[in-house]
Structure 1
Amino acid sequence: MTVVQRVERPLHPGRFRQALATLAEGCCVVRGHLWIASAPECRIAIQGVGPRIWLENTGAWDDVPPMEVPAGRGMPAPAATVITATGEDLDAAEFEHLLTSCQLTDEELASGKGLHDPFGLEQAS
C-alpha cells in the first residue's frame, strides 16, 4: 500500500525525531520533503529504504522550482510537509495521525520561540 500525506504546518523537530522510528518500522520506501520548525526556511528532503531514513537540507523554499498550474504560469512551491510511504502493513490512518501529531500546535506557533534542531539541518548543505 502507498500513502501520501501532506501536513500544512511546520513539524516539531523533537516529536518528528521520535516519530521517525515508527515511520521506519512500518514502511519499505519513504520519500518526500519536510517543513521542520527548527529550520523553517529550509526544504528538507526525506528518503528511506527499509529501516534507514535520511534527511538532507536541499536549500531555501524560495529556491524550489515553480510548480506548473493549469493556466501554465509557475507558482512558488509553498512550504509544507509531503511524504509518500509504501509498505505492506502500512495503515493510512495511523500514518496520518503520526504526522499530524508532529505539527506545531497553535500555542507553539503563537510563541515564536526557536526550537532545538536535533538533525543539524540549520546549516546550508
Structure 2
Amino acid sequence: MDATRTTRQLEETIDEFEKQKIRDIKKIFGEFLTVEMSFHAKALEVYTLAYQNIHSVDEEEDLEVFRSSLHPPDYQSRLDIVRANSKTSLDRTGSFLSTSGTLQVRCRHPYSKIPIK
C-alpha cells in the first residue's frame, strides 16, 4: 500500500515536472520567435525603404552632378588674388603663401635664437 502511494506521488511529481518543462519551453521559444519576427519585420521595413529609395534615384540628375564634379569651377583666379595680396605682407601669425601657393610658417625655437622654417 505504501509502495503504491509512493509510486503514485512520484508519478504525479514527474507529471507536474514535465508539464512545467513544456510550459517553460513554450514560453522560451515563443519569446524567441516573437523577437525574431520583430527583427525581421523591422528589417523588411528598412529593405522596403531602401528599395523605394533606389528606384526613386533620378539617373539623369545624378549623372549631371557627377559630370559637374569632373569640371569644378575655376579656382585659379581666386588663388592668384590671394597670392598677390600675400606676397608683400605677412599676417599676424607669421605665415605667408609662397609663390607655389603653399603655406609657410616661420617660428622660433624657445631655446635658441635661430628661426626655424
Higher relative contact order (CA 8 A, sep 6+): 1
Structures share a fold, TM > 0.5?
A: no
Q: Which has the higher helix share?
A: 2
TM-score when normalising by structure 1: 0.16
Q: Which has the larger radius of gyration?
A: 2
TM-score when normalising by structure 2: 0.17
